[in-house]
Structure 1
Amino acid sequence: MLAKLTHWFDARRRERALRNHPIDDALWQATLAGLPFLNHLEAADLARLRELSSLFIAQKEFSTAHELELTDAMTVAIAAQACLPVLNLGLDLYRGWVGVIVYPGEFVIRKTVEDEDGVVHEVEHDASGEAWEGGPVVLSWEDAQMTDGTDAYNVVIHEFAHKIDMLSGEADGHPPLFRRWHAPLDATAWGQVFDHAYDHFCARVDAVPDRRWTRFERESLIDPYAADHPSEFFAVCSEALFVQPHAFEAEYPELYRLLARYYRQDPARVGALQA
């Protein structure tokens, strides 16, 4: 009886959220036109993505910085891209936080880091996105609009991949695996593929002389930045999976299959992968 009552309340909340945060047809079509990497989705999947985006908007609190005006177009574009990775997994993977902060362009991040000798340094650098454990996702709107699919770059998917990775603690490139979706895939099987691919990529990056960086970036879909940490490799490869799936599969076929299995989507083809 309690389970039925809980389900009833959840359904009522869902209906209320969809009623209070609808995405009108014209805005949704304009959003899709600006996100060409969604073209592989069938009509039923796009309808689910639209509904999930409405629920996401209902659950999260959007705000801006530096007097940037928040518009419906911005909100829906960010929501649609954020919801794409969890289309077949659900918004529960974004639980535990509510804030999405949008800056006009890049912003400065200040951090305290400890080097190998134990010396603490205050550092700052420009960023186009940042995901805080237990806190908000921060995005550059200028970068969030770079969505034509000419390369694998997508700051929204990148930062929300970090959020998924953080569900099991500190982001480490080993996101949580759920039995109902991912069995028999386990942490050992994940590591055998992912860690090997990461080590191989880092070795490629380390072997490139400074004068050949441009050539490397032309030859590889994956940005050298992904070698900084396994969490960055996971986030950058998640971008590639959804934005340039055919090229990603060609360069890293085994890693493509792993991430497609994880997200339960096969963007190089069509449809969901069954667990």
Structure 2
Amino acid sequence: MWSFRHWRRRRILARSAVSKGEWRRAEESLPLLESLTDDERHRLREWATLFLHEKSLEGVQGLTIDGDAARRIALQACLPILHLDFDWLRGWTSVVIYPDAFVVDHEEMDSAGVVHRVREARSGESWDRGPLIISAADVDAGRQRDAYNVILHEIAHKLDALNGVADGFPPLHGDMQPEAWTRAFTRAFEDINQRLDAGQETLLDPYAAEAPEEFFAVATETFFEVPERLAEAYPDVFEQLARFYRVWSLKRS
């Protein structure tokens, strides 16, 4: 059926000046896209085109974002929604890019109830209804297929917050069971914390133990970057993410 939204998207795509060669160059620099089919690559390019049209990429502290860098960012930002819809990236309009890790001020409460003001260096940050903030240095580091990807991490927070605040429980599809999601993620979150408390190594980045929302974001990074690692560590979480992202082709081993 005809809709203004569909018509507008087709109009944007038809007017795109990005050539297939330019998209191919960006894709070839991103190993996590190697397993995509031709149809998936075509759809990802469309989502990335809409991303570049609707989101502003703003370099700060003298950083300039050229076309190749913008396309790499857009492709990675749209990978989690490849089998969903572009509307999953609604509610925010800008990507702020620092040259390197940036410092933020925030408040933390200790076990005694005392609030402390903390300065902390970060590689990425996602504000509710606000910009997505990333570090160019960490974006470049994420081009290695090693389960570290600041763009995937922060996009996961954006998806997580669509039903309120980021808490590790994003809006699930109608054919998913909230109880199964809660059970899988709760067990995995408790397990990684227990392992870290015991001084054991973990297959997921230890940052996943910080909070449920961070576990979801780290699990998302791992799911797309090295899915076999997540499937080995937490097969139930892998299954839930496959259902959520509608991705069934990733290798489990």
Question: Cα RMSD between the aligned structures?
Answer: 1.7
Structure 1 position 55, deviation (Å) = 0.8
**Partner residue, 2:196:** 205
Structure 1 position 150, deviation (Å) = 4.1
Q: Does 1:109 align with 2:108?
A: no
Any conservation in 2 of the 1:249–1:268 contact (CA below 8 Å)?
A: no
CA distance in 2 between partners of 1:241 and 1:160 (Å) = 13
Residue 38 of structure 1, aligned match among 33, 42, 58:
33
Structure 1 position 121, deviation (Å) = 1.7
**Partner residue, 1:140:** 135
Residue 225 of structure 1, aligned match among 193, 196, 207:
207
Distance 1:169 1:161, change over 3 A: same
CA distance in 2 between partners of 1:82 and 1:221 (Å) = 24
**Partner residue, 1:252:** 234
SS class of match (1:191): helix
**Partner residue, 1:193:** 184
Distance 1:224 1:70, change over 3 A: same
**Partner residue, 1:19:** 14
Any conservation in 2 of the 1:21–1:57 contact (CA below 8 Å)?
A: no
Structure 1 position 155, deviation (Å) = 0.5
In structure 1, list runs of 5 or more residues that go unmatched: 271-275
**Partner residue, 1:239:** 221
Structure 1 position 118, deviation (Å) = 3.0
Any conservation in 2 of the 1:149–1:244 contact (CA below 8 Å)?
A: no
CA distance in 2 between partners of 1:267 and 1:156 (Å) = 21
SS class of match (1:85): helix
Structure 1 position 247, deviation (Å) = 2.2
Structure 1 position 26, deviation (Å) = 2.1
Structure 1 position 16, deviation (Å) = 2.5
Q: Does 1:174 align with 2:165?
A: no
What is the TM-score with the length of structure 2 in the denominator? 0.94
SS class of match (1:110): strand
Distance 1:150 1:53, change over 3 A: closer
Structure 1 position 188, deviation (Å) = 1.6
CA distance in 2 between partners of 1:263 and 1:38 (Å) = 15
User: Once the two structures are aligned, what percentage of the paired residues are identical?
Assistant: 39
Deviations 1:72-123 (A, max 9, x none): 1111111100100001111211111101011111111111233333322211
SS class of match (2:118): strand
Any conservation in 1 of the 2:58–2:65 contact (CA below 8 Å)?
A: yes
In structure 2, list runs of 5 or more residues that go unmatched: none
CA distance in 2 between partners of 1:149 and 1:267 (Å) = 20
The size of the alignment, in residue pairs, is 252
Any conservation in 2 of the 1:40–1:269 contact (CA below 8 Å)?
A: no
CA distance in 1 between partners of 2:129 and 2:178 (Å) = 23
CA distance in 2 between partners of 1:93 and 1:203 (Å) = 34
Residue 121 of structure 2, aligned match among 111, 121, 126:
126
Structure with more contact order per residue of length (Cα contacts < 8 Å, sep ≥ 6): 1
What is the TM-score with the length of structure 1 in the denominator? 0.87
